[in-house]
Structure 1
Amino acid sequence: MLELGNTSVVIVSVIAVIGVLSLVLAVILRKQVLAAGEGTPKMQEIAAAIQEGASAYLSRQFRTLAIFAVVVFGLLFLLPGDGAIKIGRSVAFLFGAGFSAAIGYLGMWLATRANLRVAAAATGANGRAEGARIAFRTGGVVGMSVVGLGLLGAAAVVLSFRGDAPAVLEGFGFGAALLAMFMRVGGGIFTKAADVGADLVGKVEKGIPEDDPRNAATIADNVGDNVGDCAGMAADLFESYAVMLVAALILGKATMGEQGLVFPLIVTAIGAIVAVLGVAITRVRGTESGLRAIYRGFYVSALVGAGLAAVAAFIYLPSTFAAIPGVSADLAEHAGDPRLVTAAAVLVGVVLAGIILAVTGYFTGTTSKPTKHVAATSRTGAATVVLSGIGVGFESAVYTAGIIAAAMCGLFLLAGGSIWLSLFLIALAGCGLLTTVGVIVAMDTFGPVSDNAQGIAEMSGDVDEEGAKILTDLDAVGNTTKAITKGIAIATAVLAATALFGSYGDAVNTALADIDFDPAARGNDLVAAMLNYEIVSPITLVGLILGAATVFLFSGLAIDAVTRAAGAIVFEVRRQFRDFPGIMTGETRPEYGKVVDICTRDSLRELATPGLLAAFAPIAVGFGLGVGALAGFLGGAIGAGVLMAVFLANSGGAWDNAKKIVEDGHYGGKNSEAHAAVVIGDTVGDPFKDTAGPAINPLIKVMNLVSVLIAPAVVVMSVPADANHVVRIAIATAAALIAFGAIVASRLRASKVDAANEAQAEREAEQIAAN
């Protein structure tokens, strides 16, 4: 087992302390946010309803997910390996899942209190600057918590398990990714069902404003912003942080031994300093745009992070690979100066984040040509709005994927053609990108907090015209920052998944070395074909097709779930308007709680299907077709995943901000035919950008981590002469049945919902005819 020297132990211990200090700073920022004014009693009443709904949903969701966590905890003990590592991996799984859930809950809890304070601040003398400050520092609390818990968890595992830490951290990353995926899917279904239902009935049918208190879905919509965007994205970025560390430590140990194990931790610890700097310097100056202030904070902190990482590389690493114990002779001879190579890799990650920020902002911003084009198509109806948004999404996906691919090619060239070093550099680039994770989380949380603040202001009626304009501007900035952070999260997911791809290869090679398998000597052509990684192999190509298909199936299931839940919301809101005429005159209070209950019920009901698909599809492919096909499966999922995620996120973002452009008075303004067209485009984009698209990020990482975990078992059960192929096929069949059984159950639920909706529509038609 690899042992850590005294210097490395001291460094990792300091990193653990930095993690604790990050959590302390999060507490300080939290106190600053909560110290702001809480507004009028009416504002407080509305905010309390949002807080109650969000807390109730997450509590019910966590009770449901606890069952999955316990089951997976037990299943991890069935994997081959040393007893101490199996115990550590299973316990680390629980900590990863627990930290991910805690980050999500913290994001929701604070956001549901900051929204009120941002709404109240908008009425002050310096409303724009103060509102932006509160919203951004709310995200800063969550960002510092992400950094703190990530560093603390990883450092604790490294100090406890030393050279075996990467194997144990697989469980930590898997727990974080699994919980994040469930929170992304469940929260996304909740928020977009409420949003779509509220828009279709309120805006399109009744012609009332977006957050009008007469709409029964408004509270559920604001609850959804918090459980979907705040809780979901916070958990997503935490798992990205954890998974990237897992991949970097696995590949670092395999490539550079002790120093490769410790250096990624140093890079991510620098992220704590960067987060503090980013939160501190992000201030709106005078009348400047909030987006300009956020961009300034991001770029300054990113450059500082890259510089500090370079300093750390030159202090900690030697000048040649030959001076690092255990590196291969080829690497020592051809790879160059490890200080320059690693510093350059971190810089590539930082630059990649900046480029993705700019490209995403261009395709989704309210002042950019693509979004203006989508808004302009509203003059010819909803169909052209939808088509133009789809075109923007497709085009932006190509550019974003090309930029990420170019970064990977650059890292491959930087590694001098060494596969393993290039994979480690990709992981380091991901760590470099995540040095800005504190600022990224703050940018993302800014969006739902400002959106909620505008909703509270509109529902309460206690904000003057100038304050309403400030909140509208902050909401538009939030739409762009949410789209930007989705783009950065996608880039992070691809880098992490690619690095995990390398970790998967390392796991397979290690397992084969333990067995000492020689297929040529045994003449076992079938087993040799199952081990073949070449893309020209039909079995590998089959795996690639299945991996890409899984991404499409997952996306379709998520969007379909929103469609069904939104249909139920539409019928409920219509019923309330029909049964209680006093709602439209303001004499009767809508039954907000019923809509919240429907969203909660439907989102939790749909939670299991995508989760089971993500967990069991790799098991079915791996045990059924072998490690070569499973490698193809992962490659297909990564390739299709990056394109699909960017397409869904950016098309949705363009539709959302095109709606903002029209609502600002262009092409007829609110309540015009153009407005109805962009509202329909926005409702199409809602499940794209806030449900299916973001959920693809943890999906591809969950499937990669499952593959890394099962790789040794697949090798053991398929390669040796005495391998039990009957048991292997039985496992593959059971996994396939579970995955497809969940899909069949989802289809059956859909049929029941369709039948119920049809019956409801017939009853409505009869009542309308009777009246």
Structure 2
Amino acid sequence: MEKQIQGMAHRLVSMYKNLNSNTKAIMKLGFVFFPFALYILLSIFNFSTALKYLFMTLGLSSMGIIYSFYIMIDILTKETGTGEMQRIAKFITDGSEGYFKAQYGTIFKLSFIFCFAIMVVYYTRPTPVNQNEVESANIGNSAMALFSGLSFLCGAVCSAFSGFSGMWISVRANLRTAAAARRCYNDALTIAFKGGFFGAMINIALAIFGISLLFLIMYLYLFMKLGSEENVYQNIHEIPLLLIGFGFGASFVAMFAQLGGGIFTKAADVGADLIGKIEVGIPEDDPRNPAVIADLVGDNVGDCAGQAADLFESISAEIISAMILGATMANEAEFSVAQQISFMFFPLIVHCLDMFASTIGIFFVKTQQGLPQYIAGYERLEEPLDIMKKGYKVSMAIGTIGFVAICYKFLNPIKYPNAWICFTFCGFIGIIVSYLFIEVTQYYTDYNYGPVRSIVNASKTGHATNIIQGIAVGMESTGLPVIIIGVSVISSYFLGELSGITNEKGECIGGLFGTAIATMGMFCTGIFILSMSGFGPIADNAGGIVEMSEQPEDVRNITDKLDAVGNVTKANTKGYSVGSASLACFLLFSAFLDEINFISPIKITTVDITVPEIFIGGLLGSMTVFVFTSWAITSVGNAAQDVIMEVRRQFREKPEILENQALPDYKTCVEIVARAGLREMIKPGLFSVLTPILVGLLFRMIGSYKQQPLLGAQVIASYLMFSTATGILMALFLNNSGGAWDNSKKYVETGAAGGKGSETHKATVTGDTVGDPFKDTAGPSIHILIKLLSTITLVLAPIFIANVDTKSSS
């Protein structure tokens, strides 16, 4: 399989090289104008509303995938540097791809087990009480079981492919970025950024394509089963409920991918730093360190493959939950079928806008060609972050204008002519929230601001005070984000209700959908923001290749500049991820209540935590976050111990390694970390999946005994609320404290507070080592955890409800 991929890539690169500049320019223009051409084409043909939107999203997402491969080919045509650089890069590529195969082999074995369990749940589920709904429209439990299993596997496969794509391009872009730094600052910057853009674009495009394709399959199945399009339209608003398996499959794979990759990368990083910088006093990425290749491999399997799967899971969960809420609200408001379909497809169309806006933005990520002629000129190079922000502003402007237009087109029901204005402002709230989260995160993690410098000052008096101040900064950093989340949820909910949309009882029902629109607003330039995140590990790897191949100082100056900014962008996008996860979980919780009310004749309107069982469910939710965090951090520590023992053994048995007279055994360190990563990811991963199921089943049995059939579902609702709240705070604390520790070390390495080798520097290295599993293993895994808990309970909602006696309940 690997040889076929390599061969296909080689053929595509050869074809691309034969194109002249005019042909390439025409291709780029074609990508830009394709959405308009597709819209005109679909308007000519007399398709139904649903099919027109489905073909539109399938066409645009397909074009997004094609364009991402165009970017990939453009990267692969670049120079690959010296023989030594290529040799080092091959170590990284082989280690990354070998670990990926082993990790995803384990993940897919677990996925098939859970796929079978989901099919059993749906095959044995009670018949929904709403007899006119899609699930009772002659579909049957066997078809439901088959489709749910298919959705789960489709989500898992797409998530795995997105992770593989991000990792595959990363291990190739890093070498080309390093080679480009030898001749042109602009080329090095753009190659690294395009590598991140490829991973982000293919993630969004795959999510849109996968969800649209499953929707089309279900639509066609209903058409064949019910015999007419009119009958399908009567039930079309319930189809999104059948797609939740896709989100669960994506979450399931993302959890193990992020855990395994995070354990790998940080175990190698901790081991390399403790031995290299503290015990023997060699610099970062020194070729004498046996763990240095494992560290560079970890950047790819953790920060690229793991983060790509995390991104795919976030987008999928947010799209499906917003589709459920939009369809439910439009149906309850008794909109026309065409208007219901518009509200339902709005999330998919917004993400198509994201692909367009972000694609335009990358054309502006560039600076002057060539290199400075004097060493002093390197200090005057335009900052990479400033260059990327130029493109971001362009994407933001296009995204904002496009968002207004899409709201007017899709969220403009005849009965409520001003609703689209309210929903547009909900989207603006989301856009503002994404900006504020990035700014707040930068304030707490960038060494140009007070919090990080306070850690540096504390480090002057030792290691312990460094740790104390880092924890304090992390805890303080939860304050502003929580206030931002609170204000955004309340204000978007209020604006949603101001839309005036009501149900048949006259009750306002637009609030939840307003919150969903705010989440959409956060993602209208999501690809560009996540491209900046993917830029980080590529720049880091490029710096490692340059250091290990002993390139001249002027080349290192460029990669150091890119690497420094890469750390900032990675930290900033972690804050963005927490904000989007918070709003997405709120939507998923609401979708869970909709699913319960759909299945059961007894409705859940409130979750009363004064009921002892429900309160205990909430405590168990908070406990899940803390225990999961503990096991994730412990896993890094256990794996790091194996690395440290191996590095010490090599230095002890071959002291000539430190004298540059012998090469270290890089492969053994990579194999040790790989085995440890695979071993250690199982325990916290299975804990996160099985705990909500066991809690729900336990309280379902208690509910059956107490004649309270919905007790299990109510306890799970409390479990979700508490685990989400705790997870948000824990993720913010871990991400920001880890980022602050990391950048306090980097600030000292610029020459501040004694510079490299000083006691202050050693204290900051200790803090950075403690922060590594915080910010790159446990913190990002909690983003996935809180969404996984929501998606798994949404998929398995039927098993949390005891048998309901409709006669007694009535």
**Same structural fold, with TM-score higher than 0.5 when normalized by the shorter chain:** yes
Which residue of structure 2 lines up, in the alignment, with residue 429 of structure 1?
Answer: 518
Letter in 1 for 2:57: I
Q: Offset at 1:532?
A: 6.3
Which residue of structure 2 lines up, in the alignment, with residue 266 of structure 1?
Answer: 349
How many corresponding residue pairs? Answer: 690
Q: Equivalent residues in 2 for 1:193-204 (5 A)?
A: 193-204=267-278
- Counterpart check, 1:340 vs 2:421: yes
Which residue of structure 2 lines up, in the alignment, with residue 113 of structure 1?
Answer: 172
In structure 2, C-alpha distance between the alignment counterparts of 1:341 and 1:285, rounded to whole Å: 43
The equivalent position to 1:360 in structure 2, one of 441, 444, 464, is 441
The equivalent position to 2:618 in structure 1, one of 544, 549, 555, is 544
Q: Equivalent residues in 2 for 1:89-108 (5 A)?
A: 89-108=148-167
Which residue of structure 2 lines up, in the alignment, with residue 525 of structure 1?
Answer: none
In structure 1, C-alpha distance between the alignment counterparts of 2:96 and 2:766, rounded to whole Å: 26
Residue 173 of structure 2 contacts residue 192 of structure 2 at CA under 8 Å; is this kept in 1? yes
- Cα deviation, 1:169-218, whole Å, max 9, x if unaligned, reads 20111111110111000000000000000000010000000111111000
Structure 1's unaligned 5+ residue stretches are: 324-335, 519-527, 724-771
Letter in 2 for 1:694: P
The equivalent position to 2:87 in structure 1, one of 37, 45, 69, is 45
Residue 13 of structure 1 contacts residue 159 of structure 1 at CA under 8 Å; is this kept in 2? no
Which residue of structure 2 lines up, in the alignment, with residue 177 of structure 1?
Answer: 251
Residue 115 of structure 1 contacts residue 449 of structure 1 at CA under 8 Å; is this kept in 2? yes
- Cα deviation, 1:99-118, whole Å, max 9, x if unaligned, reads 11111111111111111111
Which residue of structure 2 lines up, in the alignment, with residue 316 of structure 1?
Answer: 410
Residue 73 of structure 1 contacts residue 93 of structure 1 at CA under 8 Å; is this kept in 2? yes
Q: 1:506 to 1:719 in 2, by over 3 A?
A: farther
In structure 1, C-alpha distance between the alignment counterparts of 2:394 and 2:697, rounded to whole Å: 48
Q: Offset at 1:86?
A: 2.5
- Cα deviation, 1:605-626, whole Å, max 9, x if unaligned, reads 1122122112111112222221
Structure 2's unaligned 5+ residue stretches are: 1-45, 126-134, 136-140, 220-235, 331-339, 370-380, 499-506, 700-711
Q: Equivalent residues in 2 for 1:667-706 (5 A)?
A: 667-706=753-792
SS at match of 2:658: helix
Q: Which piece of structure 1 moves more, 236-245 or 704-713?
A: 704-713
- Counterpart check, 1:245 vs 2:319: yes
Which residue of structure 2 lines up, in the alignment, with residue 298 of structure 1?
Answer: 392
Letter in 1 for 2:168: W
The equivalent position to 2:450 in structure 1, one of 369, 372, 381, is 369
- Counterpart check, 1:487 vs 2:575: yes
In structure 1, C-alpha distance between the alignment counterparts of 2:272 and 2:807, rounded to whole Å: 62
Q: Equivalent residues in 2 for 1:439-588 (5 A)?
A: 439-461=528-550, 463-513=551-601, 517=602, 533-588=607-662
In structure 1, C-alpha distance between the alignment counterparts of 2:280 and 2:318, rounded to whole Å: 48
The normalised TM-score by structure 2 is 0.83
The equivalent position to 1:283 in structure 2, one of 349, 366, 386, is 366
Residue 143 of structure 1 contacts residue 275 of structure 1 at CA under 8 Å; is this kept in 2? no
Letter in 1 for 2:489: M
Q: Equivalent residues in 2 for 1:616-627 (5 A)?
A: 616-625=690-699, 626-627=712-713
Q: Offset at 1:275?
A: 2.0
Q: Offset at 1:490?
A: 1.1
SS at match of 1:37: coil
Which residue of structure 2 lines up, in the alignment, with residue 765 of structure 1?
Answer: none
SS at match of 1:146: helix
Q: Offset at 1:119?
A: 1.2
Which residue of structure 2 lines up, in the alignment, with residue 645 of structure 1?
Answer: 731
Q: Offset at 1:470?
A: 1.5
In structure 2, C-alpha distance between the alignment counterparts of 1:121 and 1:275, rounded to whole Å: 24
Residue 251 of structure 1 contacts residue 420 of structure 1 at CA under 8 Å; is this kept in 2? no
In structure 1, C-alpha distance between the alignment counterparts of 2:684 and 2:53, rounded to whole Å: 40
Q: 1:283 to 1:85 in 2, by over 3 A?
A: farther
Q: Offset at 1:9?
A: 1.9
The equivalent position to 1:399 in structure 2, one of 480, 500, 505, is 480
Please report the RMSD computed on the Cα atoms of aligned residues, expressed in angstroms: 2.0
Q: 1:64 to 1:365 in 2, by over 3 A?
A: same
Q: Offset at 1:587?
A: 1.0
In structure 2, C-alpha distance between the alignment counterparts of 1:671 and 1:271, rounded to whole Å: 46
Residue 532 of structure 1 contacts residue 540 of structure 1 at CA under 8 Å; is this kept in 2? no
In structure 2, C-alpha distance between the alignment counterparts of 1:101 and 1:153, rounded to whole Å: 13
Runs of 4+ in 1 over 4 A off after TM superposition: 417-420, 718-723
Which residue of structure 2 lines up, in the alignment, with residue 735 of structure 1?
Answer: none
In structure 2, C-alpha distance between the alignment counterparts of 1:663 and 1:419, rounded to whole Å: 57
Q: Equivalent residues in 2 for 1:623-638 (5 A)?
A: 623-625=697-699, 626-638=712-724
Q: Offset at 1:720?
A: 6.2
Q: Which piece of structure 1 moves more, 452-461 or 6-15?
A: 6-15
- Cα deviation, 1:467-501, whole Å, max 9, x if unaligned, reads 21121111110001001111111111111111000
Percent of matched pairs sharing the same residue: 38
In structure 2, C-alpha distance between the alignment counterparts of 1:35 and 1:366, rounded to whole Å: 36
- Cα deviation, 1:229-248, whole Å, max 9, x if unaligned, reads 00111110111111101101
In structure 2, C-alpha distance between the alignment counterparts of 1:259 and 1:701, rounded to whole Å: 26
Q: 1:70 to 1:360 in 2, by over 3 A?
A: same
In structure 1, C-alpha distance between the alignment counterparts of 2:277 and 2:469, rounded to whole Å: 22
In structure 2, C-alpha distance between the alignment counterparts of 1:283 and 1:180, rounded to whole Å: 32
In structure 1, C-alpha distance between the alignment counterparts of 2:509 and 2:72, rounded to whole Å: 42
In structure 2, C-alpha distance between the alignment counterparts of 1:563 and 1:90, rounded to whole Å: 36
In structure 2, C-alpha distance between the alignment counterparts of 1:181 and 1:341, rounded to whole Å: 36
SS at match of 1:123: coil
In structure 2, C-alpha distance between the alignment counterparts of 1:137 and 1:161, rounded to whole Å: 36
In structure 2, C-alpha distance between the alignment counterparts of 1:693 and 1:374, rounded to whole Å: 20
The normalised TM-score by structure 1 is 0.87
